[in-house]
Amino acid sequence: MSELFGIIGNPIEHSLSPLLQNEAYTLNGIDAHFQAFHIAPEDLEKAIQGMKAIGVKGFMVTVPFKAAVIPYLDEVDPIAKQKNAVNIVQYIDGKYVGFNFDGEAWLKALLEDMGQKSLRTEKILLLGAGGAAQSIYHTLTQFAEVHIDIANRTLDKAEALKKLGDSHPHTHVISLEEAESKQEQYDIIIQTTSIGMWPNIEESPIQITNLKTGAFVSDIIYNPAETKILEQARKSGARTQNGMKMLAMQNALAIERWTGQKVSYPKMMMSLKEALHST
């Protein structure tokens, strides 16, 4: 019998994961179907029980359930627990086990596009302190030598994020204004806020005017494909990356986790580009 996988969220209608996943199953001979489930927050517990009862073997978790889902899982891996966020659930021996591969997917995408195997002593600017920033920051703290400035509109949230990486020796919290004024110091700038996402495509958390030679700017937004900040960065001579590769990596990592099969994420990126182009 065919396996069933899915994604839970609210809203979920615009998720591109069903397209990516079902296409990957067909291309890789995986006998499975992937379904998006729109769930009302008050029905979350019943939904998880229902998915288990009907034999859903794995599901992705997106906004607003990444933290809320945790009490209803049987086990949560230590990294996801530390981040207080789950993005992939796998059915293992009768149990739903939660994982978080968001930071890993982002890092893989970054290193691949930077042409590096690892991070070294780079000076990094992290824009934002929400859920996405949390996963990325946690992943960055494994590199003890990098310098990280967290810039956010609400400084308290940036301070709280810094506390999560208590053992990281070179993290500082700064304002968005300060980040803008010292932008030429950074080797890598990571945009994790929702600013600039369609339809607010003219907005940007900081104005890019003067970047360090060789700087790399990564925005986790993929719609539009080039946000204002990426456009300004490209025009300033920086290398840039949008969120498509991260999204493709997240889906590829989920399939690998659930089926043990490695799938081609470049193909997924082509499908993403086509889908976004036709909307």
Tell me the catalytic residues. Answer: 66
Locate 33 and state its tokens: 């179907």
Selected from 194, 197, 212, 239, the binder of ligand ATR by CB under 6 A is 194
- Which residues 6+ apart lie within 8 Å of 205 measured at CB? 127, 128, 151, 153, 176, 191, 193, 195, 196, 229
Q: Which is nearer to ligand ATR, 129 or 230 (CB)?
A: 129
The 3-state DSSP class for residue 259 equals helix
Which region among 48-56, 95-103, 192-200, 253-261 touches ligand ATR (by CB under 6 A)? 192-200
What's the min distance (Å) between Cβ of 140 and ligand ATR? 15
Q: Is 33 exposed, middle or buried (0-12, 13-18, 19+ CB in 10 A)?
A: middle
Selected from 139, 141, 191, 193, the binder of ligand ATR by CB under 6 A is 193
The rounded Cα 65 to chain-centroid distance in angstroms is 14
Helical spans, DSSP H, in 84-220: 102-114, 131-140, 155-164, 176-181
What's the min distance (Å) between Cβ of 73 and ligand ATR? 19
Selected from 38, 52, 157, 182, the binder of ligand ATR by CB under 6 A is 157
Residue corresponding to tokens 């990426």: 230
Q: Considering only residues 205-224, where is the footprint of ligand ATR by CB under 6 A?
A: 205
What's the min distance (Å) between Cβ of 250 and ligand ATR? 14
Which region among 89-97, 123-131, 222-230, 244-252 touches ligand ATR (by CB under 6 A)? 123-131
Residue corresponding to tokens 């580009």: 273
185 near ligand ATR (CB under 6 A): no
Selected from 153, 170, 212, 239, the binder of ligand ATR by CB under 6 A is 153
Question: Residue 44 to residues 49, 84, 261: CA-CA distances in angstroms?
Answer: 9, 17, 29
**Element (H or E) spanning 151, and its range?**
strand 147-151
Pick from 36, 140, 125, 123: nearest CA to 83: 140
Q: Is 74 exposed, middle or buried (0-12, 13-18, 19+ CB in 10 A)?
A: middle
Name the residue with the smallest CB distance to ligand ATR: 130
Selected from 56, 129, 230, 253, the binder of ligand ATR by CB under 6 A is 129
What's the min distance (Å) between Cβ of 113 and ligand ATR? 21
Site string for ligand ATR, 78-107 (x = CB under 6 A): ------------------------------
Which region among 86-94, 150-158, 237-245, 246-254 touches ligand ATR (by CB under 6 A)? 150-158
Total residues binding ligand ATR (CB under 6 A): 15
What's the min distance (Å) between Cβ of 131 and ligand ATR? 3
Selected from 12, 44, 73, 132, the binder of ligand ATR by CB under 6 A is 132
CA distance 224 to 228: 9
Q: Residues 168, 244, 90, 39: what is their CA dihedral angle, to the nearest 10 degrees?
A: 110
- Residues near ligand ATR (CB under 6 A) are 128-133, 152-154, 157, 192-195, 205
